[in-house]
Each structure stands twice: as structure tokens, then as C-alpha cells.
Amino acid sequence: MIDLKLLQKDFESMSAKLMRKGVDASLLENLKTKNEELKIAKKNFEALQALQNSMSKEFGIYKREGKDIAELKAKVDANKIEITKVLDIQRQKQEELESMAMTIPNVPDDSVPNGKDEEDNIELKRVLTPKEFSFTPKEHWELAEQNGWIDFERGVKLATSRFSVSFGMGAKLERALINFMLNFNSDRGFNEVSVPALVNRTALEGTGQLPKFEDDLYKMEGQELFLIPTAEVPVTNLYQNEILAANELPKKMTAYTSCFRKEAGAAGRDTRGMIRQHQFHKVELVALSKPEDSETIFDEMVSCASDILTALELPHRIVNLCTGDLGFSAAYTTDIEVWLPGQNQYREISSISNTREFQARRAKIRYKDGKKNSFVNTLNGSSLAVGRTLVAIMENYQNEDGSIDIPEVLEPYLSM
């Protein structure tokens, strides 16, 4: 959640920053109005409470002096009723303000470039040079079918479109990639954790998927439980509503999970193959840190994900997202895009974000900062999307006859 006190203190500046991210000015004005209404309700309550305290003291004096208290008692009782009414109004205004604030995205850092969409993202660097093929490289779905690695039709038969089944070497490579990535991340200081694939509404509110993106989530009928869209949700919320000791930070974690998304906003996009599926595997990096350490840890996370691709000898590039492509919870984001020769373009394979205090404020994750409690910074990033990594291996390691070589670094994991 955005800092409402900061919004109240410097409304014009905060509004300008949020509008860079596409927030409508009228919504911000409504938020300001709700905040003013809450302030008035609090003042009314405080005034009535002060009157109650004053009359209570006067009540004691009347009793000691033997005065008639009937009239004063009637005033006290009437004021109590008014206090109850005003307190109900205050609670209502508080709920209205918080409900509206939960739909407002994070404020982008000043360093985030302005832009409308992914076309305005800024490329920072390229790592490794794409291989030149002596033949026209095939796309991954052709290679998957030719080698019997992935069956898309049987995925549809078992579920619906955008599901697939992996067989033989395809399934083995997925498992090898998961183990390789987890070990790689652990060697970089990220503690491995295993978390549930179902979470409650509070957890999804904490990381920002709810209430705004409920249409993209799979919900259990009759229960307030949802299949996770990413391991970011359960791993970040491990410390929901906790106050950590300063010496416990940073907490750096990695987790493998299956992820589930309806892809409600991606109709018609990437309908073939494994680029955009309803269920996919991903290894995630999550960190909780002191604010002054979060940028260093962010750089560590970007390097970790990039170095995995380098170890797999997969060409990729690193880009900074513009305001129009920035996610709801992110203050700033760096994407890593892997080269796919079959598609003749770079495609996103990792997205690494620093949310600053935004998620911690929603999930109430704090640490003891001297004598006060402060919000941690939370960071998350793919390291990596397993299916997309498999796609990149198929397209970059293909031979003219359609066979696919195996990255040397994965060979030990295939014999385990």
C-alpha cells in the first residue's frame, strides 16, 4: 500500500508520480477526499471524547458536592450515543480509505523512464552473442513435437488450452533445470524453502495481486483459497504481520513452485507452445531487507538470474522497464530477455522488482530499527521461468536435423 501519510503531506508530488504509472487523476482526487473525510471523522470523535472526559470530571465533582446530577447524567448518556455514532463513521471512513488505497499501485522510483509499453523499455546490456545458424531455426513447438518432448494436444485433453504434458527428455530437463537453478541460487546465498501452492486472500492482498487482479487467479470454490500465480506470494508472506530483529536481515530465499494464471489479459497472445501457459514451473528469488540494502540485493538478484543463463550459454539482454510496463507492486523492475532464434527475438524470461515498502506495508512486515519499528523492503524475481528456459535451450541448441544438444552444465543433473 502507498504511504497515505506521505500522500496527505505532499499530495501534488505523489499524484504526479502515480500518474506516470497510469493512475487516473480522478481516482487520486477521490482518495484525497476519502482521506479528508477520515480526518474530519477523527476530529469529531476526539472533540466528543474530550467533552466526555470533561463531563466525567464534572460528574465526580457534582457527586462529591451533593449536587443534582440528573441533567448532567442525561448529557453524558446522550454524548456516549453520539460517540458511538461518530466512532462507527470513523471506522467506515477508515475502511473506505483503505479499500480504495489497496487499488492504487506503488509509486515508481524517479529513475524509472517514462513510457507507454514494452517498446519504451531501456536496454542496458547484452550478454553472449546469438549463434548464427546455417539453416532456418525452428520454433520450439516444432522441435518439441519432433523430439517427443512436449505434447500440447494431450495437455488440452487433460485440462484445456494452454496446458501441456512433458515426456522423456523434456520432463527430465525440466527437473534438471529446477535442481540446477535451486543449487545455483543456494550457492549465491539464497536459502531454499518449500511453500504451499494454495494461499489465502490475505497473502495475495499482501503482495498486491488482490483486489485488483482477482480475474487472473484460480480460486477454490467455496473457500478463500487461491492457487499461487508465483512463489513470490507465499515466500514474501512467510513473515506477514511479524516484527523481525535487525540482525535477521536480509532474508534471502529461493523456492520452486508450480504457478497458475488464467492469463485473462493475454487473450490471443502466444497461443502456441509454452511461452504463456496456465500452469508453469518457476524458481523464484525473494528477499526482505533494510531499505538501505535493497538496491545492492537487487543487483545481486539480477546478476544471479543472468549468470544462470550465462552458465547455460543462452544469449540474453537486460532491460529497465518504463513506467507503462511496470507492475502494480514494483517501484522499479529489470527484465532479462533470452534470445529465441526460432522467433528471431528476445523474450522475457525473468522479471526482478524492488517494491520498496509497498508490499511490507500491506503485509505488515517490519523490523526493529533501533527503538522504532520500520517496514522492510521486499524484492522478488524469477530465477528462472523453467518452461521458457527449456524453450530457449530447444531453440538455441537445435541442429539442422531437428535434434537438440544438451547444455554441458545440465549433464550431471540428468544422471542423478
3 state SS of 37: helix
The grid coordinates listed for 204 are 495475495
CA distances from 229 to 16, 201, 247, 276, 282 (A): 30, 13, 31, 13, 10
Residue with cell 457534582: 62
Radius of gyration (Cα) for the chain, nearest Å?
A: 27
Helix H segments across 159-248?
A: 168-187, 201-207, 232-236
Q: How far out from the chain centre does Cα 17 lie?
A: 20
Nearest CA-CA partner of 383 in 162, 190, 173, 164: 190
Spot the catalytic one: 351, 353, 382, 383: 351
Query: Strands 365-369 and 242-244, how do they pair?
Result: parallel
Spot the catalytic one: 82, 313, 348, 374: 348
Q: Is 348 a catalytic residue?
A: yes
The DSSP code for 406 is -
β-sheet with 332-340: strand ranges across: 122-127, 316-320, 332-340, 345-354, 377-385, 279-289, 251-260, 191-192
Helix (H) or strand (E) holding 154: helix 152-158
Spot the catalytic one: 126, 175, 276, 317: 276
Q: Is 347 a catalytic residue?
A: no
Spot the catalytic one: 20, 261, 347, 366: 261
Q: What is the C-alpha separation between 47 and 161, in angstroms, rounded?
A: 61
Q: What is the C-alpha separation between 133 and 355, in angstroms, rounded?
A: 41
Q: Is 361 a catalytic residue?
A: no
The grid coordinates listed for 221 are 470454490
Q: Is 276 a catalytic residue?
A: yes
Q: Is 289 a catalytic residue?
A: no
Residue with cell 523453467: 386
- Is the Cβ–Cβ distance between 216 and 226 less than 8 Å? no
Which residues carry out catalysis? 261, 276, 348, 351, 388
